[in-house]
Amino acid sequence: MASECTDCVSVSDALAAAAGSDRALGPSELDHLATCLRCRAEQSRYRRLMEAMQSLREAPTSEDSRLESQILETLDVYGHRWARITNSGVAAAVGGIAAGAAATAGFIAARHRRAARLAS
Amino acid sequence: MVSLVERAKSGDREAFDRLVRITHSDSYALALRLTGSTEDARDVVQEAYLRAYRSIGRFRGDALFSTWLYRIVANCAATHIGRRRLHRHDHLGAHDDVIDTRPDYDPTLLGDVAALRVNLDAAIRDLPPRLRSVVVLRDMYDLPHDAIAKELGISVTAAKVRLHRARRRLREQVLPLPGEDHDHGQ
């Protein structure tokens, strides 16, 4: 296999960009690929990498069985105030923003308290 | 899914709960990929659904609901990682040493798709968060560059630079060319 040359370095950058079809390879890069085994091998590896990335997304992730109920509880505790206010109309918009910020702040504060408890 | 989204937009909490049930596994998988921690992923997902619930009235439907949700998860994860870095003083620079978790070089294993996936999974976790975020969002979840840049609070050019750097690192680590075996991640 040929050793890395200046053209290889330049084409290598283009291959990383072209791997996900972010851009097409130019004529000079294609010319180089036609004659350089090293860069063709690198291009082939990028193709395999992209395929593996997609297959990884489809692979099942081990999930915490309590997550769904935790999300719904969070919505119960911090979401209902927002929903009630937004349903009451434009007059309460300013209050709604404040309530939304307070709900988020409460959620973050609760999480920090939990983190502090875990850390101690 | 479309009718559930419409009902949720009109304030139907039951419809939103059903959307949570349908989508939370996928959202958690993305959060886990972005944060690299089950604890952080749980926090990110909870915060993301709270934000989604508050803003679903503004969801215009010009993108898939799942894509809209991915963007919220990405934004929450970026905020979470930033906050964690501030509080814990983690050193998360782009030039951190990458821990080599590959098994010994073995052409048979390298040719095996399952082994490649295992190695790739580990390599993604080893990436610095700022590189990991862009490559996961782009190459696994197909988010456009401008959406990634917006949710991560960076320019499109910076997002592309990080993406190409991340791809190169992953390629060098899991599918090295001869001669790259001992200097990957540089």
Domain carrying residue B23? 1-90
Distances (CA, A) of B28 to A18, A87, A116, B25, B88: 29, 29, 23, 5, 23
Q: Are B66 and B139 in a shared domain?
A: no
Of B28, B50, B121, nearest to A107 by CB-CB distance is B50
Per the CB < 8 Å rule, is A45 touching B177? yes
Q: Are B82 and B120 in a shared domain?
A: no
* pLDDT of residue A100 exceeding 70: no
Q: Are A15 and A40 in a shared domain?
A: yes
pLDDT at A40: 92
Per the CB < 8 Å rule, is B50 touching A53? no
Per the CB < 8 Å rule, is B120 touching A56? yes
Per the CB < 8 Å rule, is A56 touching B28? no
Specify the amino acid at residue B151.
E
ipTM of this predicted complex? 0.73
Q: In this structure, is residue A85 part of a structural domain?
A: yes
Q: In this structure, is residue A83 part of a structural domain?
A: yes
Q: Are B47 and B120 in a shared domain?
A: no
Q: Are B161 and B180 in a shared domain?
A: yes
Per the CB < 8 Å rule, is A17 touching B164? yes
CA–CA dist A17, B34 (Å, integer): 21
Per-residue buried b or exposed e for B115-150, using 16+ beta carbons within 10 Å of the residue's own CB: bbbbbbbebbebbbbbbbbbbbbbbbbebebebbbb
Q: In this structure, is residue A98 part of a structural domain?
A: yes
Q: Are A24 and A43 in a shared domain?
A: yes
Q: In this structure, is residue A94 part of a structural domain?
A: yes
Asked if the C-beta of B113 comes within 8 angstroms of chain A's C-beta atoms, the answer is yes
Encode pLDDT of A41-88 as tens digits.
999 999 999 999 988 888 777 767 788 888 998 888 887 655 544 444
Q: In this structure, is residue A96 part of a structural domain?
A: yes
From B62, B67, B69, select the one nearest B16 (Cα to Cα): B69
Contacts of A1 in chain B (CB under 8 A): 177-178
Task: Supply the CATH number for residue B56's domain.
Answer: 1.10.1740.10
pLDDT at B87: 62
> Among B90, B109, B124, which residue terminates a domain?
B90
Distances (CA, A) of A33 to A14, B36, B42, B164, B179: 11, 36, 45, 19, 19
Contacts of B28 in chain A (CB under 8 A): 61, 63-64, 67
Asked if the C-beta of B5 comes within 8 angstroms of chain A's C-beta atoms, the answer is no
Q: Are A10 and A54 in a shared domain?
A: yes
From B17, B71, B75, select the one nearest A83 (Cα to Cα): B17
Q: Are B104 and B123 in a shared domain?
A: yes
Q: Are B33 and B118 in a shared domain?
A: no
Q: Please, are residues B139 and B167 in contact by the beta-carbon 8 Å criterion?
A: yes
> Among B90, B113, B139, which residue terminates a domain?
B90
Q: In this structure, is residue A1 part of a structural domain?
A: no
Q: Which of the residues in chain B have pLDDT under 50?
A: 90-104, 106, 182-186
Distances (CA, A) of B2 to B6, B24, B101, B143, B175: 6, 17, 43, 20, 41
Band the pLDDT of A103: cuts 50, 70, 90: low
> Among A40, A58, A76, which residue terminates a domain?
A58
Q: Tell me the residue ranges of DSSP E strands in chain A.
A: none
From B127, B138, B140, B134, select the one nearest B185 (Cα to Cα): B127
> Among B90, B107, B123, which residue terminates a domain?
B90
Q: Are B84 and B1 in a shared domain?
A: yes
Q: Are B84 and B101 in a shared domain?
A: no
Query: What's the rounded mean pLDDT across residues A14-23?
Result: 82
Distances (CA, A) of B50 to A70, A81, A104, B83: 11, 11, 8, 18
- Total CB pairs under 8 A between chain A and B: 123
Q: Are B166 and B133 in a shared domain?
A: yes
pLDDT at A91: 44
Q: Are B79 and B11 in a shared domain?
A: yes
Domain carrying residue A32? 6-58
Which residue is it, tokens 């010994």?
B104
pLDDT at A22: 63
pLDDT at B95: 42
Q: Are B112 and B61 in a shared domain?
A: no
Encode pLDDT of B145-182 as tens digits.
999 999 999 999 999 999 999 999 999 999 998 888 64
Q: How many domains, in total, are found in chain B?
A: 2
> Among A58, A84, A102, which residue terminates a domain?
A58
From B176, B173, B96, select the one nearest B128 (Cα to Cα): B96
Q: How many domains, in total, are found in chain A?
A: 2
pLDDT at B96: 43
Q: Are B38 and B55 in a shared domain?
A: yes
Q: How far is A89 from chain B (nearest CA, A)?
A: 12
Asked if the C-beta of B141 comes within 8 angstroms of chain A's C-beta atoms, the answer is yes
CA–CA dist A52, B102 (Å, integer): 16
Q: Are A21 and A38 in a shared domain?
A: yes
